[in-house]
Chain A
Amino acid sequence: MSSIDTSKVATSNRTDAATASKPGRAGSLATWADDRLGLASAMKKNLRKVFPDHWSFMLGEIALWSFVVLLLTGVFLTLWFNPSMGHITYEGSYDQLRGVGMSESMASTLHISFDVRGGLLMRQMHHWAASIFVASMMVHLLRVAFTGAYRKPRELNWVIGCLLLLLGTLEGFTGYSLPDDLLSGTGVRAADGFLKATPVVGTYMSFLLFGGEFPGESIIPRLYIIHVLLIPGILLALIAAHMLLLVYHKHTQWPGPGRTEQNVVGYPMLPVYAAKAGGFFFMVFGVIAIMGGLMSINPVWKFGPYDPTKVTAGSQPDWYMGWPDGLLRIIPTGWESVIFGYTISWNVMLPILILPPLMLVILMLLPFIEGWITGDKRDHHLLQRPRNAPTRTAVMVALMTFYGLAWAAGGNDIIAIRLDLSINQITYFMRVAIFLGPILAFWITRRWCISLQRHDNEKLLHGYETGVITRSPEGAYAERHLPINPTSAYTLTARDRDEVYTVGSDTDAAGVDAPNSRSEKLRAKLSSWMYSHNVQKPTRAELEEAHHHAEHEAELQAGLDHPVDGHQFDDHRLRDTTDVPLRD
């Protein structure tokens, strides 16, 4: 309907011809611009673009807005930061380090912190925003995974998102390494060790990165250009691609009456989402500003300049690098093998060089693996509730458990001193829990989801629990159930039945092996593993039977209705079932 231009239609029903009135000043300016830029038609479409309303759809926005804060504060910091490893003596305002020799990058960081107006606030906002940027990408990722939003057609956007997470992490690492303080220097030294643990090419890679033996004089300028140009450039491009695909695919929505795979029910960009998203930007900015203003982060002046002979307790990377560090902390130290006189350090390779990239690959492949098992080639714009995909939900929770345990292991020393535990016992516990925890989490989550599915079916078939207990003449007690309203019933049943994939005959009519029979068998096995335990929604016949039964019950209880419900004197009785929201 928006394709009909109503601006030239007469506003009255008089008989003489209508003419367009003379445009106002703003109107003529807009016309002038549109004649040259042609934005009107694009804007007309996009300003009316509809987004569905749900809090979990705004998690990615936290990442977007904290990235904007990162760009703003980052530009401020570049005005004073000097990425040089040139050696100077600090003569700034911070007493405890005056007269201490350090690199120019450390000195300029101290200068920003103590001698540039607002510099410390900007540094801390930049750092907090970075932590929140990566964290919000992760919660956004979890939302997308748990609701099945990564299914066709959004698999590639999922992959882009995973790459954004990887790049955000690398961007964070290169960023917090720049001040050349004791803590980050320890991190860079660790990174050097990881590079060198790579078989055959390790030493060459280390020499390439550091421009010679560690630490050399090149690493800070190189990290700087990676941090301010290379990765942000790729990040920006991928964010643009991520959002263009979002616009192209349109946003997913929760199922419900009136919501189909062909439409999007929600509010338009202008004015509703422009206001909401714009307001949310200021909230993100505000939270980051408050944190930057009130809460200390990375107090480099206490670490002092990097010096390979020094180290501090509590030397951890920022949180998003914490889980590989945790794996490194719990891996048995003796896992090394010597081949032709060369040491292969499995104890470094496994937790740092093998597992994290493997986890990333698994993450990126999730939608493709699921798509292959289900064989589902349809587009999906309606989301699934996590309980309605029990295996997927359980796989994600298992991955989260693995991540969480590794992450906690990365803070083992802090956990030990804060909770009065032995760091050794934590390590032993983690070595077992890292294997058992995900399995246990998978099993619990899947059974939990299936129970919730069963509960949904009970609500559909028997209604919801009213909390009204009736006593029969025989003395038996029973709780009355009332049917849920049609909207809730529609929403609960708006899901597909799971179909377990079964392989046809192994051989065709002529006795020739069917193509791909082995992979098809595997697929069937996985499909059965994924779906066979699920509870399917009731059939039409079952629902009708249940309704018939409910009506019969209601008839039986008709006479009892008045005296037993116990709500004569309040307003509960006045409500009918349509007022009762979907309860779960």
Chain B
Amino acid sequence: MRLLNRTAGRLSRHRRGPLAGLAVLLLGLVISGSLFTAFSPAQADNQPSETEQVAQGKELFLASCSFCHGQNGEGVPTVRDGYQLGPSLVGVGAAAVDFQVGTGRMPMASPGQQAPSKKVVFTDEEIDALAAYVASLGPGPAIPDESDYSIEGLSEEEREEAISRGGQIFLTNCTACHNFNGAGGAMPRGGYAPSLHGVEPKYIYEAMLTGPQQMPNFSNGNLSPEEKRDVIAYLGSLEETPEYAGFTLGGLGPVSEGLFAWLVGIGGLVGAAVWIASHTTRSNKSKVDA
């Protein structure tokens, strides 16, 4: 008690000091701020409402997308029949926007055979707003939830089954373009199936769901949500599995193997032949055999 009195006494001595007012003000602000954060109702007011999000999305859309996709996302045809600057986005759903914009494919830097994945130009919030706007144009697939593509909730045995099942689905449906290793492959006229290495599971799921660019659409009737999840699980397991065989040489199959057989194998061995031939024998002149 005495100690407390003494502390209060010491503090009290400074009550008219030059910084006292500032300190009290700061203390008051911190306390009231903390109390507000602790007791305020869930941040309903901070989250933009659906309508606000769509409105924000529309503004972004008009600025960045409408040149090719039209002011209402209806698509812009070119003078050549059947060709368009940008396709209609009615009914492509939020998942398509999340994939195209979230991987940096859209907005496109220049027209071309295919929109390459590049640096993402929008923030997550802006992408959500764009997705909400495009979703409002017509019903389409929504952005998947993590529980859709994660095998976290499964037991060890179920996971193993999911992975091996996913591998077979992958080999049946995906490797024809993306290659057995997910290293990617060529498509007609300069198009390509991109590499799947290091692609976030969400985007792989969305790609299957929406069929971006030249990729076919694997609807849920075609590949069930569980089967999509299994494919993603298989790809994840490939990345986690150590490369038992050594350097994969790009994982492109026999072409790169042949290249290395010639460059390293024959190149090295011809080098060895040159070395052996240039180090020829020298007879010792001082020693004369009988």
- Chain A interfacial positions (CB closer than 8 Å to B): 6, 11, 53-59, 61-62, 95-100, 113-114, 120, 124, 128, 131-132, 135-136, 139, 182-183, 267, 272, 276, 279-280, 283-284, 287-288, 291, 293-299, 302-304, 307, 309-319, 322, 410-414, 416-417, 420-425
Contact = CB atoms under 8 A, between A and B. Distances in A.
B276 A313 contact: no
Contacts of A304: 167-168, 171, 180
A312 B175 contact: yes
Interface stretch (B82-90, B126-134, B277-285): B277-285
B137 interface: no
22 contacts: A55-B274, A57-B277, A96-B234, A96-B241, A98-B164, A100-B164, A132-B261, A291-B261, A296-B246, A309-B172, A312-B175, A312-B180, A316-B254, A316-B255, A318-B254, A319-B259, A322-B254, A414-B186, A416-B192, A417-B192, A423-B187, A423-B190
A314 B189 contact: no
B243 interface: yes
A313 B161 contact: no
Interface string B153-177: 0000000110110011001100111
Interface stretch (B25-33, B211-219, B262-270): B262-270
A414 B276 contact: no
B273 A313 contact: no
A96 B241 CA distance: 9
B179 interface: yes
Contacts of B278: 55
Given A95-B237, A97-B164, A413-B185, A319 B262 contact: yes
What is the interface of chain A mostly: helix, strand, loop, or mixed?
A: helix
The 9 closest A-B CB pairs, nearest first, are: A319-B258, A313-B185, A296-B245, A314-B253, A422-B190, A131-B261, A55-B277, A413-B186, A312-B175
Given A139-B266, A417-B185, A422-B189, 20 more contacts: A54-B277, A58-B277, A96-B241, A124-B245, A283-B272, A287-B268, A291-B260, A293-B246, A296-B243, A296-B246, A297-B257, A302-B251, A314-B179, A315-B253, A411-B255, A417-B186, A420-B190, A421-B190, A423-B188, A425-B190
B172 A62 contact: no
Nearest to B268: A287
B133 to A, nearest CB: 33
A62 B179 contact: no
B176 A313 contact: yes
A280 B271 CA distance: 11
Interface string B210-254: 000000000000000000000000100110010111111101111
A551 B272 CA distance: 44
Given A312-B176, A313-B178, A296 B277 contact: no
Nearest to A267: B281
B35 interface: no
B181 interface: yes
Interface of B: 113, 160-161, 163-164, 167-168, 171-172, 175-181, 183-190, 192-193, 234, 237-238, 241, 243-249, 251-262, 264-266, 268-270, 272-274, 276-278, 280-281, 290
B179 A280 contact: no
A291 B264 contact: yes
Contacts of A298: 254, 257
Contacts, number: 213
Contacts of A53: 277, 280
B257 A95 contact: no
Nearest to A61: B273
Contacts of B253: 183, 312, 314-316, 414
B152 to A, nearest CB: 17
A292 to B, nearest CB: 8
Given A95-B237, A97-B167, A99-B164, A416 B264 contact: no
Contact of B160 (A54, A95, A114, A272): A95
Nearest to A57: B277
Nearest to B247: A295
